[in-house]
Amino acid sequence: MKSIHLIAPSGASLDNKSPLAGINWLEGQGIAVENIDCVNRVYERFAGSDDARLSELNHLSKLDPRALVMAMRGGYGLHRLLPGIEWSAIAKAIQNGLQVCGHSDFTVFQLGLLAKTGAMTLAGPMLNYDFGRLGDDGSPVVPDTFMWQHFQNATESRKLECEVSAPQAFLGKAKTSSLTGLLWGGNLTVVAGLVGTPYLPSNKQTQGGILFLEDVNEHPYRIERMMMQLLDAGILANQGAILLGGFSAYRLYDNDKGYSLERAIEAIRKRLPEETPILTGLPFGHQANKLTLPVGASANLSFNPNGFELKSQW
């Protein structure tokens, strides 16, 4: 990895120190960081005007195909840009070798690109949190070793290998099995918001797939409601398996009276066909120890009541 080309397609940076800390760390690894001016753009809550952010995205098709593109952060903003994105041109650059990485709000771009062209992107680290995270005292936090290792494996070797050892309570009747399918998904709020639009991959594209989901700052009842939406839209039952990553930074209330994330998953489990397993503990989401997942690649999944293994080569 010789260089990273930054883009800021969603929210403006919440502080000035995080992007600079991330850039400094990456440069300390001998990586050239390009297009750094994007981290300073601010228009309302966005990292620049709609026109500026759209132009930056469409410029991806003109980059050296050996480039690695990374989003600065998530937030919100990509939904505004969808009609103007030059999907085919960007997909051609990716087919020629361009790699594009991000998560959170970036799920909008990843699933739109997959729906429109079938092109693959990387759901993985972004500049601010993963490389420029700050401690309580405002000093930079060293990037997570697990994240960095898997990011390098994905970008340099184009390989994913992950083994999770954790009890699996929501397998349904599928107690032990292995399957191969399209790996796709991302932020649950974003995925649910794309239902009924041309920017969500079709049931035909994702039939028998491996759907991964994560979210942040969402109470379990909202997670349940969004997953019910995916269930009633026919999306969950269409999958070979559902992988749940991190659902972080929410707060339970006194009136929950024992209701929890586990109860929410149980409610989905009861309505989902019993042969469709739900697996928990995928190290991915708004958390330091995250995988880099190839959105749109074929992946192999094997599982049993004690854990699962996920592999892909693209």
**The three-state (H, E, C) secondary structure of 191-260, written as one string:** HHHCCCCCCCCCHHHHCCCEEEEEEECCCHHHHHHHHHHHHHCCCHHHCCEEEEEEEECCCCCHHHCCCC
Looking at the whole model, is its pTM more than 0.85?
yes
Catalytic-labelled residue, pool 5, 103, 150, 286 = 286
Q: Which of 214, 218, 224, 312 is catalytic?
A: 214
274-291: average pLDDT? 98
C-alpha pair distances (Å), 88 with each of 58, 84, 197, 305: 10, 12, 18, 42
| Active-site annotation holds for 286 | yes
pLDDT of 162 > 90? The answer is yes
Matching residue, tokens 């790699």? 99
Q: pLDDT by residue (tens digit) across 131-158?
A: 999 999 999 999 999 999 999 999 999 9
283: which residues sit within 8 A by CB, 6+ positions away? 146, 162, 164, 245, 246, 289, 290, 291
Active site residue 163: no
306 band by pLDDT with thresholds 50, 70 and 90: very high
Count of other CB atoms within 10 angstroms of residue 119: 20
Neighbouring residues of 110: CB distance < 8 A, sequence distance ≥ 6: 102, 121, 123, 186, 295, 296
Residue 239 is encoded by which pair of tokens?
Answer: 């999958």
- Note the pLDDT of residue 263: 98
pLDDT, position 1 = 81
User: pLDDT, tens digit, for every residue of 30-43?
Assistant: 999 999 999 999 99
Structural domains of the chain sorted by starting position, each given as residue range(s) with its CATH number in brackets = 3-143 (3.40.50.10740), 159-313 (3.50.30.60)
CA–CA distance, 190 with 105 (Å, rounded to integer): 7
So what's the pLDDT on residue 265?
98
* Catalytic annotation present for 10: no
Q: Is the pLDDT of residue 188 over 90?
A: yes
Contacts of 268 (CB under 8 A, 6+ apart): 224, 227, 228, 231, 236, 278
Confidence of residue 296 (pLDDT cuts 50, 70, 90): very high
Which contiguous run of DSSP H or E holds residue 53?
helix 50-58
- The pLDDT of residue 175 is 86
pLDDT of residue 176: 84
* Mean of pLDDT values over 72-92: 98
Q: Is 90 exceeded by the pLDDT of residue 159?
A: yes
Catalytic residue among 104, 150, 218, 312: 104
